[in-house]
Amino acid sequence: MDLFAAHGNALDLFDRAVHAIGPQDWDRGTPCTAWSVRDLVNHLVAEQLWAPHLLAGATLDEVGDRFDGDVLGTDPVATWESAAAAARSAWLSPGVPGRTVHVSAGLLPAEEYGWQMTIDLAVHGWDLATALGEPNPVPAELATRLLDVVRPMVEDIQGSGLVDPPVAVSPAAGAPARLVALLGRRPR
């Protein structure tokens, strides 16, 4: 599975979870204990809003603080849909994989940035589904591919505050459970 297929799958699974949110769910807690459902969706919307600018070559200073704070407004689902569509369109622009993007850690190949966004979408899709009492939405094929991407970088991101330490799972656990466990979540 290449980056663009994986990104599309992860975007779709997060989208399905967003569309499962009921009016009473926005204040629910999530496996990301500092975030409510609204905070989690806000994080992913802001991430999608950044992507078109960064993929077009903008620096962090050029983007500035326009996506800080609450970007969801009064219609969070519509805001998600618009941001997700713009990000996906930016990713599918010609020449994107060969570009370099500005991120907080410096310059990064666009493809690496894309895998990071894809992992974030998939794992936070799991977080959102878990908060809503839904089953694990990460398909086995996507989880298997993301495990291949995450394993080499997991030591680097441990201790960064981005993820909790890995959680032990049964050797018989499927790829979706292994993925979320590797990134500090307790599979259900």
Q: What percent of the chain has pLDDT above 90?
A: 82
Residue 158 banded pLDDT, cuts 50, 70, 90: low
Q: How far apart are the first and last CA of the chain?
A: 26
CA-based nearest residue to 121, from 84, 171, 170, 175: 84
Which fold does the domain 3-134 belong to in CATH?
Four Helix Bundle (Hemerythrin (Met), subunit A) (1.20.120)
- How many other β-carbons are positioned within 10 Å of the β-carbon of residue 29? 13
Read off the pLDDT of residues 108-119 as tens digits, 9 standing for 90 and up: 999 999 999 999
Separation between Cα atoms, residue 124 and residue 13, nearest integer Å: 10
Domain boundaries, the chain: 3-134
Calculate the average pLDDT of the chain: 93
- What CA–CA distances, in Å, run from 99 to 53, 90, 94, 111, 115? 12, 12, 10, 8, 14
8 Å CB contact between 55 and 91: yes
Q: Is the pLDDT of residue 163 over 80?
A: no
> Any idea what DSSP says for residue 100?
E
- What CA–CA distances, in Å, run from 72 to 30, 76, 129, 146, 147? 18, 5, 19, 28, 30
